[in-house]
A and B are shown apart, each in its own frame.
Chain A
Amino acid sequence: MNYKELNLIGSSSPHIRTKVGAGHIMGEVIIALLPALGFAIYNFGPRALVNTLVSMLGCCAFEWAYRALLKKSNTVFDFSAALTGMLIAFVCPVTIPYWILLAGDFFAIVIVKQLFGGVGKNFLNPALAARAFMLSWAGEMSTWVAPRTQTALFGAVDAVTYPTPMAYLHENNLEGLMNTYDLPDMLVGFIGGSIGEVSALLLILGGAWLIFRRIITWHIPVSYIGTVAVLTFLFPRGNDPLTWMLYNVLGGGLILGALFMATDYVTSPVSHTGHVIFGIGCGLITVFIRYFGGYSEGVCYAILMMNLTVWIIDKNIHPHRFGVPKAQKAPKKEAEGK
């Protein structure tokens, strides 16, 4: 056989790679969010689905357009833009006008992600940064409808604002909250709020899937939710610490944030020790904002603030060097050859 006719390539080892690429990972996260999306459609009507699709398509379009304009390769099919779009829709009320969603998509994809170099280079979570940006339209971003409402797809939104659990918690009105929503409602998701955050149960199901598929590890969600749980249990408002704690954990965006936002690879530390520090930091800031802030929910800003500390965490946590006894510190080598 003549081997000269083959088109052989020569490259460095290894010569095999795992099937799991970036696209698989983003795709799995999108799949893990589908149960929560299904519930959102049931709870808020088909507009929840339309919002999500508009936002996903918007993000993909901005990603494609930006990269086409700058003559860069098309990265739409790593699905990270689609995931960002999905998460943006998830952290907004169902009544959000479509143009605000698209403005958020633009901010997330172009400003936060692409201007810093594209996938893997952004230092803020694009979806949460977009949410912070979209809060410039404060009225539209805090118009909540009651659970089990079929929201109209188009047309002006009635300025009726239905209180979310977070509003009650912010006023330390645990009794009012318990009268409006009981704990099973909180768990299953028959509450007001952003479309993707309401069903704690289905989000936990999705998160468990991601942990099972080894897309994420338990470190960030457990340390984050655990910190919030411990703090709210130790410092309850009212005389029932356990109930107060449960409402705090199940209400608002904590579950969505801890499982799907704080675990974003790009904007979280790379080591497990770092993950735990990151999670605890998120928990502390969340409770701090919820207790002392003017704003009723703290998850978004907590994660954004901790995003900014990731490089410090990463820079200061080093794995134990192979072959060096634990007690003895690794000899610091003199910097050479600069």
Chain B
Amino acid sequence: MAQAFFGGIHPNDHKAATNKKPTETLPPPAQVVIPMSLHIGAPCTPCVAVGDHVRVGQPVGEASAFVSAPVHASVSGTVKAVEPRIHFSGVPVMSVVIENDFNDTPYDRTPPRDPDHLTAEQICEIVKNAGIVGMGGATFPTHVKISSGLGKVDTVIVNASECEAYITSDHRFLLEHPDDVIGGMKVLARLFGVDRVHIAIEDNKANAAEMLKLKIESERAPVVVDILRTRYPQGAEKQLCQSITGRQVPPGALPAAIGCAVFNVFTTAAIYRALYYGEPVTHRIVTVSGSGVVEPKNFYCPIGTPIQDLLDACGGVKKSTFKIIVGGPMMGHAQHDMAAPVGKGTNGVLAFCENEERNIPEPACIRCGKCVSVCPMHLQPVFLYQYEQAGMLAELEQNNILDCIECGSCAYICPGRLHLVQAFRAGKQRINNAKAAAKAAAEKAAKKEQEAAAAKKEGKA
């Protein structure tokens, strides 16, 4: 049975608001905004111009580097603008704006002729061209994950743990499209040459686990269902690897270093759809929930849909709403502009109007040590916070602040209401800035030395 990771928290999951409602298809948005950066890595280069007519699935941005993934039109229509637009990360990003013609004309799809007998290189290429990234939220390009893990990976894990509160998009997707997920897992098993692929599900999604087990049995799929205790951050990559295999990812390394590869359920299904139907990533399921939402729902919607369309389709938000978030409540981004689009990793849009934050005017540490007992990365947030506040960068680094995954467990549990994650983000940034500055200074000094040596030589000559 699965082993546990250290620490973690168990907030009220609020999943009941949406986990029994079938996914609805969002009324088609009048326009979509496709940012060139829907993944970690180099942004894409737009490959369409204003006035072009595009079809669903047509590439509108080309990958510019290895760690990148192309983006595709999610509706058919006319390109209205290619300009920086607001992104859910809070800053403007170069985007392609498409006005919907409501015809949903598909782009020519040419699925591979023999998807069961593709080489790993071919699969990587297809996955890359389909713009598949980690759709659980991290949005790491999937072809990079596959190619860097080939030959090293002995445990393939499909992540359906969905540990963030409120979010039920993975859960609904599993219930409604199990064949895509199982198909994807078969591909992964073949690709990595493993006997079985693990699918990790928290025990608050027992109905999905049961349904999967029956399906797997009848299909004789190379899949094993691992039911995990509901605990946040169960779905964090490093913690999930630990829960399934007991192995810990070394500091600064990727799961491939311990023979693991983790794929989100959407990602897994997207691989299947790309291989067998030639479909790129253009749509996903988004949970719209939270105390501020009039009627919480799950929506199947095109990527690039402005989040205000999603909120409107739920009857809008309550007047007292004070925060709107893209992503989960623990790691999502607060939004200020509702024109921000849904991205490939956007699993939820939440609106809060009650006392979810519980901020107090003067946060004060009472040294209770609860942050230490919940930190899944074995850090001591209580001291990291003090070091950060005092600007002690050397101590921060010695105490492994760079290991922090920003899961927010410490800040969630803190009775003194300290802004721990915020402080750690700032601390990491300061360390990286200091490193960059030191590197620049060293380079400058080396150059000067070289020049001095050259001048000396010249003088001698």
- Which residues from chain A sit less than 8 Å from chain B, CB to CB? 1, 3, 6-22, 24-25, 73, 75, 80, 118-120, 265-266, 268-272, 314, 318-324, 330, 332-333, 335-338
Q: Give which listed residue, B364, B379, B383, B417, contacts A119 with CB less than 8 A.
A: B364
User: Which residues on the A side are within 8 Å of B360 (C-beta)?
Assistant: 21
Instruction: Determine the distance from Cα of A22 to Cα of B362 in the docked complex, in whole angstroms.
Output: 12
Instruction: Determine the distance from Cα of A335 to Cα of B399 in the docked complex, in whole angstroms.
Output: 11
Q: Is B341 an interface residue (CB 8 A)?
A: no
Contact A13 B251 (CB under 8 A): no
Q: Give which listed residue, A17, A319, A337, contacts B435 with CB less than 8 A.
A: A337
Q: Is B372 an interface residue (CB 8 A)?
A: yes
User: Which residues on the B side are within 8 Å of A25 (C-beta)?
Assistant: 366, 368, 415
Dominant SS among interface residues on chain B: loop
Q: Give which listed residue, B372, B398, B414, contacts A335 with CB less than 8 A.
A: B398
Contact A15 B403 (CB under 8 A): no
Contact A13 B332 (CB under 8 A): yes
User: Which residues on the A side are within 8 Å of B362 (C-beta)?
Assistant: 73, 75
User: Which residues on the B side are within 8 Å of A20 (C-beta)?
Assistant: 413, 415
Select the stretch in B47-55, B70-78, B322-330 that faces chain A.
Answer: B322-330
User: Which residues on the A side are within 8 Å of B253 (C-beta)?
Assistant: 323
Q: Give the distance to chain A from B408, nearest Cβ to Cβ, in Å.
A: 3
Contact B397 A270 (CB under 8 A): no
Q: Give the distance to chain B from A132, nearest Cβ to Cβ, in Å.
A: 21
Instruction: Determine the distance from Cα of A119 to Cα of B414 in the docked complex, in whole angstroms.
Output: 15
Interface size of B by CB at 8 A reads 81
Instruction: Determine the distance from Cα of A335 to Cα of B250 in the docked complex, in whole angstroms.
Output: 20
Within 8 A of A (CB), among B324-365: 324-325, 327, 329-336, 338, 350, 352, 356-362, 364-365
Contact B323 A21 (CB under 8 A): no
Q: Give the distance to chain B from A82, nearest Cβ to Cβ, in Å.
A: 15
Select the stretch in B139-147, B149-157, B419-427 that faces chain A.
Answer: B419-427
User: Which residues on the B side are within 8 Å of A272 (C-beta)?
Assistant: 373
Q: Give which listed residue, B248, B321, B412, B434, contacts A14 with CB less than 8 A.
A: B412
Contact B438 A322 (CB under 8 A): no
Q: Give which listed residue, B333, B336, B368, B400, contacts A13 with CB less than 8 A.
A: B333
User: Which residues on the A side are within 8 Å of B338 (C-beta)?
Assistant: 3
Nearest-CB residue, chain A, relative to B239: A322
Most buried by A among B251, B359, B415, B416: B415
Q: Contacts A73-B361, A120-B367, A333-B398 hold; do A22 and B415 have CB atoms under 8 A apart?
A: yes
Give 24 pairs: A residue, B residue, CB < 8 Å, sorted on A: A6-B321, A9-B322, A11-B323, A11-B334, A12-B419, A15-B329, A15-B334, A16-B330, A16-B352, A17-B356, A18-B11, A18-B413, A75-B364, A265-B367, A319-B380, A321-B251, A321-B400, A322-B248, A322-B403, A323-B248, A336-B435, A337-B397, A337-B431, A337-B437
Q: Is B224 an interface residue (CB 8 A)?
A: no
User: Which residues on the B side are within 8 Å of A335 (C-beta)?
Assistant: 394, 397-398
Instruction: Determine the distance from Cα of A25 to Cα of B251 in the docked complex, in whole angstroms.
Output: 35
Nearest-CB residue, chain A, relative to B438: A337
User: Which residues on the A side are within 8 Å of B358 (C-beta)?
Assistant: 17-19, 21
User: Which residues on the A side are within 8 Å of B86 (C-beta)?
Assistant: none
Q: Give which listed residue, B90, B367, B411, B415, contacts A270 with CB less than 8 A.
A: B367
Q: Give the distance to chain B from A84, nearest Cβ to Cβ, in Å.
A: 13
Nearest-CB residue, chain A, relative to B402: A333
Instruction: Determine the distance from Cα of A11 to Cα of B417 in the docked complex, in whole angstroms.
Output: 14
Q: Contacts A17-B411, A119-B366, A322-B403 hold; do A271 and B372 have CB atoms under 8 A apart?
A: yes
Q: Give the distance to chain B from A255, nearest Cβ to Cβ, in Å.
A: 22
Contact B316 A1 (CB under 8 A): yes
Instruction: Determine the distance from Cα of A213 to Cα of B394 in the docked complex, in whole angstroms.
Output: 37
Q: Give which listed residue, A11, A17, A265, contacts B366 with CB less than 8 A.
A: A265
Contact A319 B378 (CB under 8 A): yes
User: Which residues on the A side are within 8 Å of B449 (C-beta)?
Assistant: none
Contact B369 A265 (CB under 8 A): yes
Most buried by A among B331, B366, B379: B366
